[in-house]
Chain A
């Protein structure tokens, strides 16, 4: 019950982590099934329809329900601590964001048991995703599930923007903010502009499918290429929503374990902003083969290539952070070290893809599959592993096992390169992506086998990590405040895990890497910026949970509103929008409760604070 009603950012972080981990596991299983099917030519392990459902759900689940929540988990766990705040700006909304994400994700995955998962690819290109060619409810689950989950992401993004703008500790100017906080800030800004675009697209597609509208229907005057523009206007910034937090994590981990401040901090900030800006300018490079014409292709080619410049700045700044330092290869830093060459490889193939005439050959082949897995798995997932191992003691008060961590790293990264490096060549040799099988004697066989073996090795790495988490959870919570000994930022000045109010006294920040600065000045901790006084805390509430349940029910009701059921009661309930109305009633009722009943929260008194 405590977990359902909590509004504490640290607990919500843990909820995000478990839910994200669950969906990540589902997405991983889907990946393994895909690789088993492709292990040899003309394999009959899966049929074509199931395979298409698996690739669609693998992509959708991993992007929206796997990695994004883990990013949000780390942001929630760390950001208020890093900027010296007691919580996020809107704790109630934070909880609402988590529950809408979870119920959106559950709705999407319900499709597996309720008559067919979406099968039109994670990009859901029309007309294949239209009702005429995808008749099951699969794509409806996709559109409605993602609308609900996207609501949560948008709420989360706005919340972090407000938190970082308004709740920084005294003395923490923007240019003294840790890089992870910067990455979160920019990422949230991208979310604010990109997610409404996909929501609009999903609403239009829902209208087409459920209410027989004609936005993308050619016969009705619609245009299927329109969907691609809307999708990628969201979809390309989404890539940076994913990778910028990883950049932020790496920028925290490398300085800590090199015992040096981040090289070129201001150019890092500038590069992050520039990447976000350019990220919105390049969506059409996903569409070079759509027939945009030479002028558009040339412009989008060049603008895409430009992203290499700020990204290059970051890579070299990380390398020079280690230059002259004392590099310690703890598990988090091992992942950060693995990140640099791996992500660079994903980055350079990105520049190759930007060259439009060459992309005519790369597009929709395994070369592209290899490229974006190098960026998302080799970049983001390695970054998330670095961040999880790094902040685990702060989140749970327990150190993960270093030796198991190293095993995780080596099996995962070797498996990763084995899986995806060979896919570059598969693509160039003529293998298209999203094929459920392939004819023999095209020289695809060996490389596909290697790729599948690699995927299993990655799976082993994931299992070792889970074992590590399990074994760690059984040990006593005895992590010190600054477990890595060289912590530089504010989160390492308070106990692990932090008390629910985070900071007894808000710290005074006197420079970049505030904690490191105090340590170098010979101080044991931060100078407080305020006297000890009562701390105002928000009350726990079940309303966000109820609101999300309501939206979930309404979504299901709307989706099935035109179906015929075998039982007449069911038909009556759904066809008359009674289920939809009931769901909306729960949601709006909860909102009304929230508006009508003033909740002033409660206080922790100074005596209680001293008593600890």
Chain B
């Protein structure tokens, strides 16, 4: 949309060069500079335009500065008094008007995009509606049209608008998927925010909390998994009709029920307001948002190992989180490992 616009056109060659340069920065699934969807793309367009204008300004200032420092350096025998210039009306008007023009050049597309970004698709019948709730330090995703709730992994179909409704259960958080869209704060009920984005390509994108929310603020991450329409429908179906799974060992099953399910929900249980749903946890991208379930990468580990790390000492993984240590709940090391194995095997197809 910016290309159609005149002044932007003249800056286009530089914008393009800059775009290439900046595109080298960061991971595709994380970097603002490598946008993977239209919303992030429109922010990126404004960023390229503004960076171009600003680099031009900087070059002008730097070159005048360098020139005066070299040209008007005081020489050794220089004693005459330089002419005391009062100012120059013409010059001063010039450098009032030029910045004003540059500001207008940037302001017009900014206002356009501001209003475009205000379009939240909440009454779009075709959009997927997701209620995002921030908790210290995990994310809850409720698909209101489907009646399903999950946590930490936001599964979306490619190409569809996702209409978000953001709020928080405790302190302020900020919902941010850099490569898909800018961030939006989650405020408490009463000041609920709405916005929307879409992801044209399949992939897993890293999401983060961007508002200081306590000790583990830096660890409040999540993943957005963009999948094909069929895969999404299949996922919804398996979420809607979950098998009522329980650990096979009856003692362990009893422990799981009495100790874990008091806070967590599983399968067809109604979603819990205090802890993440465990439905299909074995097929998620990560445990606790930060332990990556990918043993092909050096910073990842198998899901079972991650679950064990988490369950044996949740506080050391995410300081300040609300999960009690299973040991304090009377679970032995073997029982914890047993539950980890059960959860690792609890996948959705």
Contacts and interface: CB of A to CB of B under 8 A. Distances in A.
Nearest to A355: B110
A305 B72 contact: no
Contacts of B179: 430
A223 B187 CA distance: 9
A432 B213 CA distance: 12
Given A48-B319, A363-B183, A429-B32, A306 B103 contact: yes
Given A48-B215, A291-B184, A315-B61, 19 more contacts: A48-B319, A224-B172, A259-B82, A263-B85, A294-B114, A294-B115, A301-B111, A320-B85, A324-B72, A326-B72, A329-B73, A351-B50, A351-B103, A352-B51, A358-B47, A360-B117, A429-B32, A436-B215, A437-B218
Contacts of B209: 432
A128 B85 CA distance: 55
A225 B85 contact: no
A327 B31 contact: no
Interface string A409-444: 000000000000000010111101111111111110
Given A125-B211, A261-B86, A361-B40, A436 B68 contact: no
A319 B67 CA distance: 10
B96 interface: yes
Interface of B: 22, 25-27, 30-33, 40, 42-44, 46-47, 50-51, 53-54, 57-58, 61-62, 64-65, 68-69, 72-75, 78, 81-88, 91-92, 95-96, 98-100, 102-103, 106-107, 110-111, 113-118, 166, 170-172, 174, 176, 178-179, 181-185, 187-191, 193, 206, 208-218, 221, 290, 297-299, 319-320
A100 B211 CA distance: 33
A349 B181 CA distance: 20
Contacts of B91: 264, 316, 320
Contact of B215 (A49, A294, A306, A345): A49
Contact of B72 (A225, A323, A352, A357): A323
Interface in A18-51: 47-49
B340 to A, nearest CB: 21
Most A-side CB within 10 Å, residue of B88, B184, B188: B188
Contact of A428 (B31, B118, B208, B290): B31
Contacts of B116: 357
Given A218-B190, A315-B61, A357-B43, A298 B110 contact: yes
B322 to A, nearest CB: 12
Contact of B188 (A224, A322, A438, A443): A224
Contact of A128 (B50, B193, B214): B214
A225 B27 CA distance: 33
Contact of A47 (B26, B57, B69, B319): B319
Given A49-B319, A428-B32, A441 B118 contact: no
Nearest to A264: B87
A120 interface: yes
Contact of B190 (A223, A261, A439): A223
Given A309-B96, A344-B58, A355-B50, A298 B115 contact: yes
Contacts of A266: 87
A324 B82 contact: yes
Contact of A435 (B83, B102, B218, B298): B218
A133 B171 contact: yes
A337 B214 contact: no
Interface in A245-292: 258-261, 263-267, 289-291
A429 B26 contact: yes
A319 B85 CA distance: 13
A337 B69 contact: yes
Contact of A52 (B74, B117, B215): B215
A312 interface: yes
Interface residues of A, number: 89
B32 A430 contact: yes
Nearest to B181: A360
A160 to B, nearest CB: 27
A440 B216 CA distance: 16
18 contacts: A48-B319, A128-B172, A133-B214, A265-B86, A301-B107, A309-B103, A312-B95, A319-B65, A319-B68, A320-B85, A324-B83, A326-B82, A327-B68, A341-B65, A361-B32, A361-B40, A429-B27, A443-B27
Nearest to B115: A294
Given A294-B114, A357-B182, A340 B218 contact: no
Given A294-B115, A319-B65, A520-B81, A428 B185 contact: no
A308 B53 CA distance: 12
A317 B91 CA distance: 9
Interface in A514-541: 520
B99 A308 contact: yes
Interface in A307-357: 308-309, 312-313, 315-317, 319-320, 322-329, 337, 340-341, 344-345, 348-349, 351-352, 354-357
Contact of B46 (A291, A357, A438, A443): A357
Shortest Cβ-Cβ A-B pairs, 8 listed:
A360-B182, A435-B218, A429-B26, A294-B118, A48-B215, A264-B87, A326-B74, A348-B54
Given A133-B171, A309-B100, A355-B50, A291 B191 contact: yes
Contacts of B73: 326-329
A314 to B, nearest CB: 10
B26 A319 contact: no
A302 B106 CA distance: 9
Most A-side CB within 10 Å, residue of B179, B187, B189, B210: B210
Contacts of B100: 309
B228 to A, nearest CB: 26
A301 B113 CA distance: 11
Nearest to B192: A291
A45 to B, nearest CB: 14
Contact of A361 (B47, B92, B217, B221): B47
A340 B170 contact: no
Contacts of B74: 259, 326-328
Contacts of B182: 289, 357-361, 363
A187 interface: no
Contacts of A434: 212, 217-218
A312 B53 CA distance: 14
A127 interface: yes
Most B-side CB within 10 Å, residue of A344, A361, A429: A361
A401 B56 CA distance: 38
A389 to B, nearest CB: 18
A428 B25 CA distance: 8
A601 interface: no
A365 interface: yes
A144 to B, nearest CB: 22
A309 B97 CA distance: 8
Contacts of B171: 127-128, 133
A351 B54 contact: yes
A121 interface: yes
Given A264-B92, A289-B185, A435-B217, A364 B210 contact: yes
A337 B31 CA distance: 35
A82 interface: no
A443 B54 contact: no
A388 B87 CA distance: 28
A244 B73 CA distance: 27
Nearest to B177: A430
A358 B117 contact: no
A440 B27 CA distance: 12
Nearest to B68: A322
B45 to A, nearest CB: 9
B14 to A, nearest CB: 15
B193 A301 contact: no
A587 interface: no
Contact of B87 (A128, A267, A289, A324): A267
B53 to A, nearest CB: 8
A496 interface: no
B178 A224 contact: no
Contacts of A315: 61
Given A225-B191, A306-B103, A356 B184 contact: no
